[in-house]
A and B are shown apart, each in its own frame.
Chain A
Amino acid sequence: MPKTIMTVDDSASVRQMVAYTLKEAGYGVVEACDGVDALSKIDSESFSLIITDLNMPKMDGITLIKELRVKPKIKFTPILMLTTESQNEKKMEGKTAGATGWIVKPFKPEQLVAVVKKVIG
């Protein structure tokens, strides 16, 4: 069974790009358009990894990570955040909230796969 990854991003194109790349790499993908959507879908499946953007309407990425980390099911699931170079302090904030690592935007498909592989194999 392929590992399933949830990608959370308010930008449909980024989301689709992530989803497409990961599917090509052999992963299953579930998409969510913001933190609230992600939380509503999180119980539907068991995810090997969650990739979330940080700047999102309704619920931002940091809040989402904090919300996820209190769920026993997600407590030890890797969470990657999508950040930009200018957001170094965000990286630290995200790590404190419980993120496993980050992917710096912009990224190329092979870079995304490399980071995902690094985290969940």
Chain B
Amino acid sequence: MEINSFIIFLAAIFTSNILLSNFLGMCSFLSVSKEIESSFGLGMAVFFVTTLTTILNYFVYHYVLVPLDIIYLQYIIFIIVIAATVQMTEMIVERFSPALYYTLGIFLPLITVNCAIFGVSLFMVIRNYNFLQTVGYGAGSGLGWLVAIMALAGIRQRIREKMVPAGLRGAGLTLIITGIMALAFIGFSGTVIIQ
């Protein structure tokens, strides 16, 4: 059955959020979400790179790997595509928009090892999306990640001064907040479903 690519886009943001239901991109999510500004910078970079690399990997997979029968090399090829895209993005942004580079620049190298981006490409292959669905899924996942990290950063800024048990400070409390956010996002399930 063909699922509308717009539905996949919405589902990737809300019901099967790449971070809250597939747990991808946690490392940078936990370490960068202290400030809203830097979260927004990283989130935008992830959104941009995820959309771009998912589309590129779609073409690489269907027009290079499948015809040559070297699907078993997909991990290495995908990683190389992602690393190259990040490097290119960094150079282009630096050349044409120094202001944007100032906001995104420091986060771009971090992104090469962000598992959300690699994971979206792998899910795209496993779920057999066609081109439009791939675009919807890539953009939706990136946007979903941005939404999640912005929400967390907002909450973390509010509770910074509050008293919390010493043992929960840092990662522990962040994980509990994320868990509650994941519970809230489960509330969306039932509106749209993708698999």
Q: Do A and B truly interact?
A: no
List A residues at the B interface (Cβ < 8 Å): none
